[in-house]
Amino acid sequence: MKIDCFTHVMPKPYIERLSAALQDFYLGDLPNKIPEMVDIRPRLEMMDRLGVDRQVLTIATPPIEEVVTDPTLAAELASVANDAIAEMAAQRPDRFLAVGTIAMNNMDAAVREAERAIKQLGMKGILIYSNCQGRAIDAPQFMPFYALMAELDLPIWLHPARTPMRPDYVDEDHSKYAMWQIFGWPFETSLAMTRLIFSGVLDRHPNLKIITHHAGAMIPYFDKRIEYVYPLFEALGQMGDAMSRLQKPLIEYYRMFYNDTAVMGSVGGMHAAYAFFGADKLLFGTDTPFDTKGGALFTSDTIFSIDALPIPPAEKAAIYAGNLTRLLKL
């Protein structure tokens, strides 16, 4: 069995409501550009062709709070998105699972909406982004959300967020050459993971389940840099009491995260992710439908990269479906 844990949708009711709220919403022609984003029929055709049994549906970027700065309207749009995603998944409950979203610039409403999405709509977790309007997600106002998700014992999907309007150099006013996404998103995910660790979120909620996008981002490739260089900064007196407050070795916190396999079919990337996280923390995920073939390219190449791992069949079965089945209590 294969369950794709990280795919994206933009349901038509949400597009319409977002377009009404924002002038010249830039994803308004999405149904024509990527029909798989709004219609489950081409998704099902691709899934059947490539042997994918089920998909988890999550909202596509942009983050609501990034484009809707009014907190009340942002909270309303999160509810619209969740209702629409749940309705989309309910068309074929045997093939689709729904994950909710929240507006992170309205945390009182966000906590209520997360609880509604899970308890009333039957969604299997909540997606958040790696920052909230450029602010770190370990701020005190976000703590009730993490406490709720730990209590509900369902995962948080962590998606990177960075825009071209954040320049890479001080003498420029925007990021060039798509570097904000290609390289910026893995950087953002790595930052968010690290902030959640040092802020003590994982110590306070050791059973909290967080699923990162793109196989743990930079962490599998820089594990030794994390392990050896942080103690150097601590010895230089540049870490304050951050290291001493941790309840176990820093590198072990990164292994607490679950991670999808969306490295776009990179065999080397998949080997690195497996080497660091192990089979029990990897979940088959493709980032469908964000390729030139509506998800078919990412899906087929991701399957190839997992199959290329020289590991026992039981571990591959866990990556493809077993781990997610356990996390979501399916």
Instruction: Return d(Cα 296, Cα 289) in angstroms, integer.
Output: 7
Residue 156, SS3? strand
Average pLDDT over the chain, rounded to an integer: 96
pLDDT at 22: 82
At 276-306, the pLDDT tens digits run 999 999 999 999 999 989 999 999 999 999 9
**Residue at 58: amino acid letter:** T
0.95 cut: is pTM over it? Answer: yes
The amino acid occupying position 270 is M
Q: Does the pLDDT at position 49 exceed 70?
A: yes
In the chain, how long is the greatest CA-to-CA distance? 58
Flag whether pLDDT at 320 surpasses 60: yes
**Are 309 and 316 within 8 A, CB to CB?**
yes
Q: Determine the straight-line distance between the first and last CA of the chain, rounded to whole angstroms.
A: 13
**Tokens, residue 109:** 């409403």
Mean pLDDT of 222-227: 98
pLDDT at 192: 98
Number of domains in the chain: 1
pLDDT in tens, 141-196: 999 999 999 999 999 999 999 999 999 999 999 999 999 999 999 999 999 999 99
Angstrom distance (rounded) from CA 125 to CA 261: 18
CATH code of 289's domain: 3.20.20.140
With CA atoms as reference, report the closest residue to 276 among 230, 321, 217, 323.
217
Angle at 270 between CA 266 and CA 276, to 5 degrees: 145
Helix/strand/coil for 54: strand
**Is the Cβ–Cβ distance between 126 and 95 less than 8 Å?**
no
Which two three-digit tokens encode residue 145?
A: 């959300």
- Give, as one character, the DSSP assignment of residue 327: H
Q: What's the pLDDT score for residue 30?
A: 65
pLDDT (0 to 100) of residue 270? 98
Domain ranges, residue 188: 3-327
101-148 per-position pLDDT tens digit: 999 999 999 999 999 999 999 999 999 999 999 999 999 999 999 999
- For 9-39, write each residue's pLDDT tens digit: 999 999 889 888 887 665 556 667 889 999 9
CA distances to 72, 112, 179 from 76, rounded to whole Å, are 6, 12, 32
CA distances from 227 to 90, 234, 252, 256, 286 (A): 45, 12, 10, 15, 29
Residue 139 has phi, psi (to 5 degrees) of: -70, 155
| Structure tokens, 44 | 């099902």
